[in-house]
Chains A and B, each alone.
Chain A
Amino acid sequence: MSNWLTLNAVGYSYGANTVFHGLTVQVPEDEHVLAIVGPSGIGKSTIVKVLAGHLSPSHGEVVVCGEKVLGPAPTRPVVFQDYNLFPWMTVLDNVVFGLKCAGVPVAERRRRGRALLARLCMDDTEKLLPSMLSGGMQQRVGIARALAVSPNCILMDEPFSALDNEMKESLCQDISSLAAEQNTRFVIITHDLTDAVFLGNRILTMKSARQALEYRIENPYHPRPIDFRYTKEFFAHIERVKAMLTGSNPSVIGEKYVLNCYHM
């Protein structure tokens, strides 16, 4: 099976600072969501910027959905931690911004924008300004804005860190459904292991600039049932990822270790 995401010995450094080095990751087509976890300051956001093309890697090659990353592209938009919506535009104008850039006619982009808002249960917000919405709603607009351009892949940089738990769980649920119903892949950066385990088919744990470990969750497929959060397996996954991060797991040896675990 081919891979939708390939990082081939990718490194990023500025000056004498090496943020990460020799990162090699391959994510096969049937794994729709890659979650990246790790302590803050380890360079998770830098990886997103490199994937987005906002930063060019110092070494190596990045291929996302068959496209070599050379700069920013609408095929892989970013959902930002602080939403980063355009505060002067209405919700609908924000959502259809990418379509405007793509040259889609006004009527058609409005129709598609409205459909997306409806899909995310926000039909009555189209004329509002982003600042009139709660944080969770703003992040939904951010996700809708990214989805509108029918991208191959959406990059999310700590998308839930400013949201309360309930909102976070409902957004996770939305993303899981979208991963199943659309042919969209997600890269999600998070410091919260429950989000990573709930959403990720594969979890990349960044331990240091030169060490990253991978963990796979084969089941359940997307959309993942809400109940998944409350299963014993779920907590077992979290424990194992946590162990990988802290390095207290004796079975994790060497640069890379893929644990193929378990069936539900």
Chain B
Amino acid sequence: MNRRERTLNILGVLLVCGVWAAVVKPGGVFMPALSDVAGQFAALMKSGLLLKDTLASVARVLAGVGFATLVVMVLAVLAVIIKEFGFLLGGPVEILRPVPPLAWVPIAILIFGIGDAPAIAIVALGAFFPIWLGVQQGFSEIRLQHLLAARSFGATARIRLTDVVIPSVTPYAFHGLRLGLGLGWFCVVAAEMMGANSGLGYGVQLFSLNLELGKTYVYILAIGLLGAAMNYGMRASETWLFKWHRLSVLGDE
């Protein structure tokens, strides 16, 4: 993203805030005034509730995405060793993939009860698919020519793994991880709305039931801002880590 784009992005945010401040007066039913939201933000920061809920949600996302990554890694290794295993897995994965992870929330609550576990499970489920597809794509992008060249130079199996296979797979796996993290964030909020007693999603549910509009908006905005920040951070590290990939495969610049 160039500077011009970024400036316009920020300008857009300011514009929306400006319209909001100008149009919405205090005391509205559906939408609080911007000043009201800012005041609630300060209060929630001061009490430490916002930070506590944020940390709870972030921890669940990290746990879920981490678990999903681990499972993908184990399955990918198995699928590489036994080709049939990968195909065997393909069928169920394709059928479960279109199911919105949220459909599983009631079942997760039935199994795990109220608390951290159902949210983590839903995040793991949601994050699994993009990470799995990324890793799979990565393996299919390994070029036979690169492996042949490595063998020509007498590369051992270990060097072929560390210097050819892993570098070929990681850009795609990382891309999957970024999408998985985004989807995981999506899932955690929804899961917390139903099956938790902390977290940003829980807060949104609680405050809106209490008709505390200002606080509800603070939490909604926090969810959006944190999600955007995560995506931005992941994108930046992707660009930095896989510069070669952007240059040679994607043909950027």
Binding site for B on A (CB under 8 A): 52-54, 72-74, 76-78, 80, 82, 84, 86-89, 97-98, 100-102, 129-132, 145, 149
* Bound form: Cα–Cα A114–B176 in Å: 37
CB–CB B245/A80 < 8 A: no
Task: Pick from A82, A87, A89, A98 the residue with the most CB of B within 10 Å.
Answer: A87
Q: In the complex, what distance in Å separates the CA atom of A132 from the CA atom of B244? A: 9
* A-B CB contacts (within 8 Å), total count: 69
Q: Quick check: B152 and A97 within 8 Å, CB to CB?
A: no
Q: Mask for B145-156, Cβ within 8 A of A = 1, else 0?
A: 110111111111
A157 to B244, CA, bound (A): 25
Asked whether A130 lies within 8 Å of B248 as measured between CB atoms, the reply is: yes
With a 10 A CB-CB cut-off, give which of B151, B153, B164, B245 has the most chain A CB atoms. B153
Partner of A87, one of B148, B156, B159, B248: B248
For B160, the closest partner residue in chain A by CB is A101
User: Which residues of A sit under 8 angstroms from B163, Cβ to Cβ?
Assistant: 86, 89, 97, 100
The distance from the CB of A228 to the nearest CB of chain B, in whole angstroms, is 31
- Shortest beta-carbon distance, A157 to chain B, in Å? 11
B-side residues, CB < 8 A to A, are 145-146, 148-156, 159, 163-164, 167-168, 243-245, 247-249
Partner of A84, one of B145, B154, B167, B249: B145
In the bound complex, CA of A129 to CA of B253 (Å): 13
Contact B164 A52 (CB under 8 A): no
The 5 A-B pairs of least Cβ separation, nearest first, read: A131-B248, A87-B248, A98-B153, A74-B154, A88-B167
Bound Cα distance from A52 to B151, whole angstroms: 10
Task: Report the bound CA distance from A101 to B153 in whole Å.
Answer: 7
Kindly report which residue of chain B lies nearest to residue A132, judged by CB atoms: B247
- In the complex the two chains form, is A87's CB within 8 Å of B149's CB? no
Q: A86 and B159: CB pair below 8 A?
A: no
In the complex, what's the smallest C-beta–C-beta distance from A50 to chain B, in angstroms?
13
Is B164 in contact with A86, judged by CB distance below 8 angstroms?
yes
Pick from A53, A101, A132 the residue with the most CB of B within 10 Å: A101
Q: Indicate which residue in A52, A86, A87, A89 contacts B152 across the interface (CB closer than 8 Å).
A: A52
Which of these, A77, A87, A89, A100, contacts B245 with CB under 8 Å?
A: A87
Give the nearest-CB partner of B155 in chain A: A101
Q: Name 6 interchain pairs, CB-CB below 8 A, sorted by A.
A: A72-B154, A73-B152, A74-B153, A84-B146, A87-B244, A87-B245
Given A129-B244, A131-B244, A131-B247, is A78 in contact with B167 using a C-beta cutoff of 8 Å? no
Since A87-B245, A97-B163, A149-B153 are in contact, a sample of 15 more A-B pairs with Cβ atoms closer than 8 Å, ordered by chain A residue number, is A73-B152, A74-B153, A77-B152, A78-B148, A78-B152, A80-B149, A87-B244, A87-B249, A88-B245, A89-B244, A97-B155, A100-B163, A129-B243, A129-B248, A145-B153
